[in-house]
Amino acid sequence: MVVKKNMNLIEAKDITRTYKIGTVEIHALRSVNLNVRQGEYVSVMGHSGSGKSTLMHILGCLDTPTSGKYRLKGMDVTSLSEERLATIRNREIGFIFQTFNLLSRASVLHNVELPLIYRGLPSKERKRKSISVLENVGLGDRINHHPNQLSGGERQRVAIARAIVINPSLILADEPTGNLDSKTGEEILTLFDEIYREGNTLIVVTHERYVAKRAERIVHIKDGSIR
C-alpha cells in the first residue's frame, strides 16, 4: 500500500483497553487519541503502570483495543483476524524491546533473517539484506556470534537490525535503553536518530526524559490517558 507524504500513518481514536482479572477491571488505557504522521519520531513518556506498553502492543497489532478505532495506513485493523494481524506485523512493524527478545540458540545473522524467512524470501537475498543491515548497525564482524556472546548494546543493535531489515512502515521501541548503561544507551539513541533521518517513522516508549527528548514530539501518558 502506498502512503502519501504527510498522511497519518497512525490514527488511534478513543482507544480503551480494559483488563479483567476476576471481577476486578483495570483501565490500562482510557479513550486515547493519537495520530502519527509518516516519518515522525514520537516518544510516549509516562510513569510505570501508566499504560505505555499496553498502547505499544495495540499500535503494534500485538493486542486489540477493548473499544475504539485503530487505523494503520488508513486500514482499519481493529476488526482483523489474528492471522491477518500477524501478516501486518511481519510486513509493517519493527519491534524493539527492553529485553532484546532475540533467539538465544540462533546466530546473529539468523536472528535478523527470521522475519524474511516468514516472508518467504529466497536464502541468498535474505542473507544479503541481513548482512547489509548488520553492517549498518556496526555488527558486520559479529554475524556468526550467538546473542550470549554479545554485550547488551550489541544485542540491542541486533534487535534493531531485525526490526529494520523488513523495511517497516513503523518502528516501535519499548524502553529500548532500559537495560543498558548510559553510554551504550546513547549509542542506541544515535542509531535511532540515523534511522529517523532516513525517513522512518519511530515511536519510542520510555519513562526517561533524556530518551523522550530525542524525539520530535513527546506524548505524555498518565493513568491510561494522553494529556
Ligand X SMILES: Nc1ncnc2c1ncn2[C@@H]1O[C@H](COP(=O)(O)OP(=O)(O)OP(=O)(O)O)[C@@H](O)[C@H]1O
Q: Taking the complex as a whole, how short is the minimal distance between the CB of residue 113 and ligand X, in angstroms?
A: 29
Q: Is 50 exposed, middle or buried (0-12, 13-18, 19+ CB in 10 A)?
A: buried
- Please tell me whether residue 200 binds Mg ion under the rule CB under 5 A: no
For residue 210, the partner it binds in ligand X, Mg ion, none, with Cβ less than 5 to 8 A by kind, is none
When the beta carbons of 27 and 91 are compared against ligand X, the nearer one is 27
- Please tell me whether residue 98 binds Mg ion under the rule CB under 5 A: no
Applying CB under 6 A, which residues contact ligand X?
A: 19, 21, 26, 28, 46, 48-54, 207
For 127, phi and psi rounded to 5 degrees? Answer: -65, -45
Q: Residue 141's CB: how many other CB atoms inside 10 A?
A: 9
Stretch that binds Mg ion, among 18-26, 47-55, 153-161, 190-198 (CB under 5 A): 47-55
Residue 96's alpha-carbon distances to 60, 117, 123, 178, in angstroms, are 11, 19, 24, 11
Query: Quick check: 206 and 175 in contact, CB under 8 A?
Result: yes
When the beta carbons of 58 and 133 are compared against Mg ion, the nearer one is 58
- Please tell me whether residue 53 binds Mg ion under the rule CB under 5 A: yes
List residues near Mg ion by CB under 5 A: 52-53
